[in-house]
Amino acid sequence: MSVARLKKLSLVGPAAHKGDTLEALQGLGCMHVLPLAPPPAEPEKISERGAHDAYKALRFLTDVADPRRQIQRDPAFDMDQFVRDVLDLMQRSRAATDRRDFLAHRIAQVRPWGDLDFPPNDVLAGNRLWFYQLPVKHREALSEVKLPWAILEQDHRYIYAVLIAPEDPGDDILPVPRTHTGSLPIHELEAQLEEAEIAIEALEAERIAQTRYLTLMRRNLSAAESAAELAHATQKVRDEGAMFALQGWVPEDRVDAVLEMAQARDAAVLIEEPGPDDAPPTLLEQPENRSAAVDLALFYQIPGYRDWDPSIIVAASFAIFFAMIVADAGYGAVIVLGLLAFWRKVDKTPAQRSWRLYGVIIAGATVIYGVMVGSYFGASPAEGSIWARLKILDLNNFNAMMMISIVVGVFHLVLANALAARAAWGRRRAFANIGWIGVLIGGFVLWLAYMNDGATLPGTVLMVAGFLTILLFTSERQITKPTDWLWRLIEGLQGLAGAMGAFGDVLSYMRLFALGLASASLAITFNDLAVQVMQALKGPGILFGLLILIAGHVLNFALAMMSGVVHGLRLNYIEFFKWGLPDEGIVFRPFARKEVQE
């Protein structure tokens, strides 16, 4: 796998062929379209990628618990009109629900004052009623009010009072704000609430009736997606009188197909290489059976166009890290059984089959490492058995396991810098990456020398040479005047500031040993606790011991899975990407028909 090489294509053709040309280009499905025209001034007129309205309508209908019998054929079915009708129904349902909730809240607010019929304004000589919910402790504040007032209701917490005044008495007349009750009595509010409930039921019945078109809607989703993609791309086209212009990135191996299409539609094409100021999107070329590795690598960050494809390395290192964190062959076997249980259900698409294969790789790595450390659900193999002879690592040997973790960390970061140097070869930054390789290896050699009372000269020489290389080659500033030499030196010193981060990143790999030891120790603890219960309680002790074993290992398995995923990915995404992929790119989004993409 690698990052596909792209060409920038500018296509100019007659406006009369614009629609036909765009549809043909969408059929090819190989261009990442660039905007040549400014977006519409009104945000609501901007066409988005994907059939968002169609998916919104589909979710609204699929939430119905009991859908109607499906219509399989309807020549008059109009997907666009159906989506508009469903969205209108959804809006009306939302408005009716909001109205119902408002009325219920208003009734709860005014009920303490009773079912009052408000008199006409002329009866009160222009005065109005103002309602207050006053805590009992503020009863004296009501006595000091100069306006006419009355207590309508009282409980152990509140006094429900009404004041009479032509204008709002203001917020300072009582120590609480007034309550907004509206002008309708409770019986009128309850009548409106009943009407709202009936309206909601009618709308829900209409929604249930619409579910009979779910099958037809799903069949037409790809067409809706294609139409949305076409509308989105059309807004990026520049129109100039009788001509139109379109620009985008195309993989090198598809340029001839675009040229043939353009020639058939009387369009002219300009082909350009990516310039130094261009930022082409990133398209990873991969076979279908490796799509899981690509998904894993692109989940956190898109590599830059001029970087390298990290898919295989990320997939391989994650499987190793996951196995080292779980550190139990029994748990690996459980993963295998889980894969077998769902084997046929994840066989519908190439992507699912790819993830299924990667799951087998992860489970296999976990089983192999578990055998190497001799842990089977926390139990060690019997002395003299073949499984005991396969045990070549001891999790309780802290020095050895710490050494393995450090070696893995150094190798991982050295590999990241080596690949970054290869991708940047010909630029000064490549030598800076080589300098970091010298610092990492030199630091490791120097650490080994101190641990074993060996010679420190080789490690020191490597580190000093690495630091000098970083100092001299970190900056890519062009020399145009004498002061640029000084700035290069300053930027080199800034690069050296990453030394502490480099050694800190290496130490981050200690979590592989620490989490693996924690998982194994917890499994052993549950095993010992279960045995103690079985020995202490004759008869029921067997049942309680089994329950402890099952519950304990289920909990430990869940923690191990979570730790393996989170920390296994973290070491790739944070430490590895930091050194190997310093630049972030944008993903290549082909202008294609949904049917072609599938």
DSSP string, 133-167: EEEGGGHHHHHT--S-EEEEEE-SSEEEEEEEESS
pLDDT in tens, 122-143: 667 778 888 888 888 888 888 8
Q: Among positive and negative, which fits the CA dihedral 191, 197, 202, 203?
A: positive
Mean pLDDT of all residues in 168-178: 82
Phi-psi region of 267 (alpha: psi -120 to 50; beta: other; left: phi over 0): beta
Structure tokens at 575: 């430490």
Is the confidence at residue 80, as pLDDT, over 90? no
pLDDT at 562: 94
Structure tokens at 356: 């299924």
Q: How far apart are CA 517 and CA 397, in angstroms?
A: 10
Whole-number mean pLDDT of the chain?
Answer: 87
Q: How far apart are CA 574 and CA 322, in angstroms?
A: 16
Neighbouring residues of 555: CB distance < 8 A, sequence distance ≥ 6: none
Number of neighbours of residue 574 by Cβ within 10 angstroms: 12
> 526, 556 in Cβ contact below 8 A?
yes
Q: How far apart are CA 437 and CA 447, in angstroms?
A: 15
pLDDT at 1: 54
> In terms of C-beta density within 10 A (0-12 exposed, 13-18 middle, 19 or more buried), how is residue 96 classed?
buried
Give percent of the chain above pLDDT 90: 37
**Hey, where are the domains in the chain?**
51-105+190-228, 119-182, 288-580
Buried b (16+ CB within 10 A) or exposed e, 20-54: ebbebbbebbbbbbeebeeeeeeeeeebeeebebb
Is the confidence at residue 161, as pLDDT, over 60? yes
Q: How far apart are CA 399 and CA 513, in angstroms?
A: 10
- Choice between 338 and 155, residue whose per-residue pLDDT is larger: 338
Q: Is 539 helix (H, G, I), strand (E, B) or coil?
A: coil
Structure tokens at 14: 């007659």
CA atoms within 13 A on the CB side of 111: 8
Q: At what angle do helices 255-264 and 18-28 cross, to 10 degrees?
A: 160
Helix (H) / strand (E) element for 247: namely strand 243-251
Q: Which of 204, 223, 203, 208 is nearest to 78 (CA)?
A: 223
Q: Is 540 helix (H, G, I), strand (E, B) or coil?
A: helix
pLDDT at 414: 95
pLDDT at 55: 84
- Choice between 487 and 353, residue whose per-residue pLDDT is larger: 353
Mean pLDDT of all residues in 12-30: 90
Q: Among positive and negative, which fits the CA dihedral 578, 579, 582, 585?
A: negative
Mean pLDDT of all residues in 203-211: 92
> 164, 204 in Cβ contact below 8 A?
no
Structure tokens at 26: 């969408």
Q: How far apart are CA 492 and CA 488, in angstroms?
A: 6
Of the listed ranges 42-56, 298-312, 460-474, the one predicted with least confidence: 42-56
Name residue 130's beta-bridge partners.
163
> 526, 550 in Cβ contact below 8 A?
no
pLDDT at 596: 42
Q: How far apart are CA 464 and CA 447, in angstroms?
A: 15
Mean pLDDT of all residues in 422-450: 90
Q: Which of 308, 290, 322 is nearest to 571 (CA)?
A: 322
pLDDT at 258: 92
What is the distance in angstroms between the CA of the first residue and the CA of the last residue of the chain? 21
CA distances for 409 relative to 122, 402, 500, angstroms = 86, 11, 15
Mean pLDDT of all residues in 334-358: 90
Q: At what angle do helices 311-326 and 291-298 cross, to 10 degrees?
A: 80
Structure tokens at 319: 């499987």
Q: Return the CA Rg of the chain.
A: 35
Is the confidence at residue 417, as pLDDT, over 90? yes
pLDDT at 175: 85
> 446, 460 in Cβ contact below 8 A?
yes
pLDDT band of 148, cuts 50, 70, 90: confident
pLDDT in tens, 239-295: 888 899 999 999 999 999 999 999 988 899 999 999 888 889 988 887 777 888 888
> 251, 282 in Cβ contact below 8 A?
no
pLDDT band of 412, cuts 50, 70, 90: very high
Number of neighbours of residue 129 by Cβ within 10 angstroms: 17
Structure tokens at 572: 């790739």
Number of neighbours of residue 376 by Cβ within 10 angstroms: 18
pLDDT at 205: 93
pLDDT at 223: 79
Is the confidence at residue 309, as pLDDT, over 90? no
- Choice between 171 and 300, residue whose per-residue pLDDT is larger: 300
3-state secondary structure 175-209: CCCCECCCCCCHHHHHHHHHHHHHHHHHHHHHHHH
Beta strand segments in 15-76, E? 32-34
Number of neighbours of residue 396 by Cβ within 10 angstroms: 10
Q: At what angle do helices 350-373 and 329-341 cross, to 10 degrees?
A: 160
Mean pLDDT of all residues in 545-573: 92
- Chain-centre distance for alpha carbon 14: 42
> 229, 26 in Cβ contact below 8 A?
yes
Is the confidence at residue 481, as pLDDT, over 50? yes
> 245, 11 in Cβ contact below 8 A?
yes
Q: How far apart are CA 216 and CA 213, in angstroms?
A: 5
> 311, 290 in Cβ contact below 8 A?
yes
Structure tokens at 182: 């509206």
Please give the model's pTM, rounded to 2 decimal places.
0.73
> 408, 509 in Cβ contact below 8 A?
yes
Q: What are phi and psi of 584, to 5 degrees?
A: -110, 135
Q: How far apart are CA 243 and CA 241, in angstroms?
A: 6
